[in-house]
Structure 1
Amino acid sequence: MSGVHRKLAAAGVLGVAGALLLPGIAAAHVSVTPNTVQDGQSARVTFRVPNERDDASTVRVELVLPADHPITGVSVGQVPGWTVTVQKQKLATPVSTSDGSVTEAVSSVVWQGGSIPPDQFAEFPVSLGKLPPGQLVVKALQTYSDGQVVRWIDGPEAGADAAHPAPTVTVATPAPAAAPKSESSADWPARVLGGAGILTALVTLALRRRSTPGA
């Protein structure tokens, strides 16, 4: 095999290897489940954070909630080995709720003190208050033990091929309940005929009784 042919063959092998590796790399991002919830209801979601590197551990995870759609009710689940901090900010316009006026909302949630080693992932549960319809984009910042910060902040507008997609929850409006089926006016002939049949049977019975002696 000539030198040119060897180079082409090597390039082909590398291309196949890259094609096999890319799907795994693309799939290893911060995700959220479920990724679709109903609006007007609270939702319990779980953020899964995988460690993409083989030479460092993940030591800090921060979730940044959108400021344009403040979420007034946020609570977080305990994750063994991690310390969680909930950060809040004042709202420019207070939000009215069934419990009164709310003047601040959660801006971010930070977990630190734990560790996600290479080839492992961790899950971080969060309970969110009532959500407006649309898409809730939660930016995630993943910090490694060597100081590298990976920013998972690309919104849906970046497309399916975004390098660092942010975990996104679609808040759907439930379909309206089907209205009770009304009786169609087309059924009236059947009802009339049915009533006429009953009336005929009654008249026939009455005539038979009159024609029967001693009735």
Structure 2
Amino acid sequence: MKSLITRACVTLAATGSAVLLTAGIASAHVTVDAPGAAAGGYTVLTFKVPTESDTASTTKVSVTLPGFKSARTEPLPGWTSTIDKDSELQATSVTWTADPGVGVAPGQFQRFVLSVGPLPKEEQVSFDAVQTYSDGKVVNWNQPTPADGTEPEYPAPSIMLAAEGSDEHGSATTETSATSDKASDTTARWLGGAGLLVGILGLALGLGAVIRSKQS
């Protein structure tokens, strides 16, 4: 019985270690995030780049773009950004290069932010990325996700897009909320003024009663 319990514990521990290892590998992938992004609209892409090497730092990151009319990088101390454009002035790629002595050290990650638009009128957009290390190693994050949903070893960063015009609903909601807040503020001010007026009238009536009682 004791032997069975021991073997069960060892199996459970091994399974748990495998799950944690898999989660660690998945979290080390280069990813991109763009909350609320909608087809045909503008958004802010945030690329999260972790360093998987135990001995080298990430010194350059290049990302392929689907041809954006507008593409602007956010300033990042210690890094120089370059946006390449085609003959039609569409942004086709962006590269962040670390200054000498700078890089994403082992066990760390860095966010690279890019404002772009308009987005393609598609359900999903992928951004092939190339990660270069200080020791010369190059990792290509460009593998598409298979139809069965299994994750490849080096998946391309990608985002899902909401239907075209979805951002307009968000704007309408914001405008409605602002209008509601303004109406509530106006009502509160009106009630406050009415209360003050009632208070003044009550004070006047009280003083009148006092004066009348003294005269009588």
| TM-score (normalizing by structure 2) | 0.63
Q: Which has a greater percent of strand? A: 1
Change (3 A) 1:148 1:35: farther
Q: CA deviation at 1:125?
A: 0.6
Is 1:22 the equivalent of 2:22? yes
Counterparts in 2 of 1:5-154, with a 5 A limit?
17-34=17-34, 37-66=37-66, 70-90=67-87, 103-113=88-98, 114-134=102-122, 135-154=124-143
Q: Which has a greater percent of helix? A: 2
The superposition leaves residues 118-162 of structure 1 with CA deviations (integer Å, 9 ceiling, x where unpaired) of: 111111110011112221111111111111111111223463321
Tell me which amino acid in the other structure corresponds to 2:25. Answer: I
**Gap regions ≥5 residues in structure 1:** 1-9, 91-102, 178-215
SS of 2:20's equivalent in the other structure is helix
8 A Cα contact 1:36 1:169, kept in partner:
no
Q: CA deviation at 1:14?
A: 6.4
Tell me which amino acid in the other structure corresponds to 2:156. Answer: A
Q: Percent identity?
A: 37
Q: CA deviation at 1:115?
A: 0.2
Change (3 A) 1:154 1:42: same
**Gap regions ≥5 residues in structure 2:** 1-9, 170-216
Give the RMSD, CA atoms, in angstroms: 2.7
Tell me how far apart the structure 2 counterparts of residues 19 and 127 of structure 1 sit (CA, whole Å).
35
Change (3 A) 1:39 1:138: same
Tell me how far apart the structure 2 counterparts of residues 171 and 20 of structure 1 sit (CA, whole Å).
30
Q: CA deviation at 1:71?
A: 1.3
Deviating runs (4+, > 6 A) in structure 1?
A: 10-15
Q: 2:162 aligns with which of 136, 150, 172?
A: 172
Tell me how far apart the structure 1 counterparts of residues 70 and 131 of structure 2 sit (CA, whole Å).
24
Tell me which amino acid in the other structure corresponds to 2:59. Answer: V
> Which is higher, the Rg of structure 1 or of structure 2?
1
8 A Cα contact 2:42 2:116, kept in partner:
yes
8 A Cα contact 1:43 1:128, kept in partner:
yes
| TM-score (normalizing by structure 1) | 0.64
